[in-house]
Structure 1
Amino acid sequence: MAISVQLGDLHRADLTAGPVEFREKGSGTPIVFLHGIIANGDVWRNVVPELVGEYRCITPDWPLGSHRLPMRDGTDFTLFGLATLIDDFLEALELTDVVLVANDTGGAIAQAVAVRHPHRLGRLVLTPCDAFDNFLPLPIKHLQILGRTPVGLYLLAQSLRSPLIQRLPIAFGRLTERPIPAEIMRSYTEPLRRISGVRRDFAGLVRAISTRFTEEAGRGLASFSRPTLIVWARERHRFFPVRYAHQLADNLPNARLEFLDDSGPFVSEDQPMALAGLIRDFLETSP
């Protein structure tokens, strides 16, 4: 679970699919943050403090492998199932005019929310993320194999204990230009190692990953007319190539596209101040 106190006080929402822990700070228009697999709300720990003076920042630990509280048996971990979970969370907190800010796998989920459950959304912010035929990206496709069996998943979880493994291209090495702090890496990797229910959730998640869902979501984006900001990294490893940013911008009727240099796909790690500035400007200038 997220450990960053700058994200605010810890709360819990009990949803149909199971409990979701989240941190909250600030007041005003709600911003809800989405992270990717084997990550949690700590991804946004350096962005939220730049926005809480004007906005209500809500940073959940979604059930994507670094959460503490497992989901109930039978949870739908398909892309559109997770989109329904997001919508249930927004409903549980009675949120409207939500700004959904997403990264990595969370960006694919956000697209699905925009297509299937747009009624609570006011604006959308997509940072480098899975989209179209890039789900999962090639460097981490092995997670779909290792995560399917108890033995493979156990070996994967235990391997992520090592900082050397963490910085490999097949782990977190291509996601940032600079190493992620050790205590944050522990918050990402320990739940998968220590909590059997989290491993069960993750196995269900990787079994449900399919590009047919991201392709369907991508086609449906034409129906989402609310203002959208796309902030992409010109990253050298091409984990999320820039062509996907352009394709998203082409499919979304009301999109603004910006690029950041000297950053991996985790732009909130490498360029948090620049990202927060772009988000703030977008929220101040978009209707």
Structure 2
Amino acid sequence: MKESLRVAGLAGVDAHDGARAVQTWQWMQWALFAFSLLAIPAFYFELAAESGLHPAGRALYACMFTGFGAVLARVAGLSHKPQRFLVRNGYDVLITAGAVASAAWGISPWSSVEWVLRILFVGLVAVRIVVSLRSFFSPGRLLPLLVTAALLVALAGAGFYWLEPGVHTYAEGVWLAFESSATVGYGDMAPTTPASRVLAAFVVLLGYGLLSLVFASIAAIFVEQEERILRREMHRDIKALRAEIAALRKDVQARGAEAGVAGAPVETVNPAGPDPGESH
């Protein structure tokens, strides 16, 4: 896993680097996670703009660029090898450059090339968010996964209510979000605008991943219970075997002691005296 992240440009700080750089990076990763989240509303602000760049979207992209640049500059300044650190984290450098381009450039309606670049940038940021939370979304954490899934449906419902003209209430938005995340597709509602379709694509991907982790967590709970029973039985059998081995060892030692006493050589005295042929 670490090797894959290193190749992808998300290797972080080398463990053999300066102690301050390593410690600072552990905290700054959550700052990068927070700044990464700004790309989601910025994308939709600009997508919903009728002409030019939306001021709120431009501001969010500028904040994202400032945050990423400040974090990378700070950790690089503490690192013993700043150039190597930037190379190891080329993915974050690429996101920083993408935030600058998103804040400074854009024409509405978007051309085909700009659509591809914008979606590619949001996809890069989404991968960055998932990597930041990879330890949080472990299969054994059922409650955090359920809470995250509920938040995803709630936020996606608000997004559909804002972006989709066919959704007239927040409840309908939540229902469309649930249909999308669960990949059910009853056909009663469907995203029709480009903005809502892009949102639906991300909701489907995130919802499919979260549902897989939730079911994996439920299965892991049952497997863990059975493994706990098996471990308990195994420990009981091991204790019984140890007791039997100890009893056998004592029995063998006792029999060995008895055999040693019974087979000890007895010294005899020749009543006729020493043998005349014996040399003195």
Normalised by the length of structure 1, the TM-score is 0.21
Higher strand share: 1
Q: Indicate the structure whose relative CO is greater, using CA pairs within 8 Å and at least 6 residues apart.
A: 1
Higher gyration radius (CA): 2
Give the TM-score, by structure 2 length.
Answer: 0.22
